[in-house]
Amino acid sequence: MFLLSEMQRDETMSVKERKARGKGASPMKTGGKAGILVVDDHPIVRQGLADLLDSQDSFFCCASAGNLVTAQEAVVAHKPDLVLLDLRLGQADGLESIKTLKSRFGNLRILIISQFDEAVYAERALRAGAMGYVMKDQASEEVLGAVRTVLGGEVYLSRAMTNRILNQNFASKFQPRAAAVEKLTDRELHVLQLLGIGTSTRKIAVQLNLSIKTVETYREHLKQKLGLANSTELVHYATHWAEHRVQPAHLSSPAAV
């Protein structure tokens, strides 16, 4: 049985339960609605998503969490029908978060909601175990439609992303070589992001809990896969790539490589 701190209890409690507790009442019954766990490290975003979900007749926010630990506790406590998961939770890698949740809760349905480019992350999220990917800048009805789709047992991707995948599959018959970045593993992509914003090898090692030697090995893999001759070209490539991608807010500030 999980013992939560008072702060964690507030974090994993549903919007309706918080209102009920404030009135001295017991947690409200779901009335047959599907319960959704909202996981995002920004309280204002959690509140906004919870309010949006609670406005619907067929589902509601059963709980919310700000990190992977409390998210797992909330899954055990509330048994949600779906987890609406931000791709980045503080220092955590969202793709690894998906894998962690799926390894522990095999039948859990996960829908990613993110500010990060779906062209880069959507397929990776599906491979990690998610059932859908929706951008945070989409209209509310688009987000709700994604929730309904995944609750219905189907995979959700935007029309643009679906067309992109179909076109890629068709083109792959004539273009065997994929785009350079798409060759990278999830960890290599994360290292590329960090290099792109100027994070030093030592800081990357600390942030990802790796040895410096392991990070240097990832740098070598990046050079090989991206066809780059040396470390200078790698840094230039990473910087250029980073300038054209939405970067995680938690990543380190620039430092000398």
Q: Within a 10 A sphere around the Cβ of 169, how many other Cβ atoms?
A: 9
Written as six digits, the tokens of 158 are: 């935007």
Which pLDDT does position 94 carry in this prediction? 81
Report the largest interatomic distance among the alpha carbons of the chain, rounded to a whole angstrom: 66
Written as six digits, the tokens of 238 are: 């990473």
Split the chain (257 residues) into runs of 10 and give each run's mean pLDDT.
Answer: 35 46 36 92 95 96 95 97 92 87 95 91 92 93 96 91 73 47 88 91 93 94 86 83 56 39
Burial class, 163, CB count within 10 angstroms (exposed 0-12 / middle 13-18 / buried 19+): exposed
Domains annotated on the chain, with CATH: 6-165 (3.40.50.2300), 180-243 (1.10.10.10)
Positive or negative: CA dihedral 5, 109, 85, 139:
negative
Query: In angstroms, rounded to a whole number, what is the distance separating the alpha carbons of residues 2 and 94?
Result: 23
Contact 149, 156 (CB under 8 A): yes
Which pLDDT does position 89 carry in this prediction? 86
Which pLDDT does position 25 carry in this prediction? 27
List CB contacts of 228: < 8 A, sequence separation 6 or more: 222, 234, 237
Query: In angstroms, rounded to a whole number, what is the distance separating the alpha carbons of residues 140 and 211?
Result: 43
Which pLDDT does position 15 carry in this prediction? 46
Query: In angstroms, rounded to a whole number, what is the distance separating the alpha carbons of residues 69 and 48?
Result: 21
Query: In angstroms, rounded to a whole number, what is the distance separating the alpha carbons of residues 45 and 38?
Result: 9
Contact 63, 78 (CB under 8 A): yes
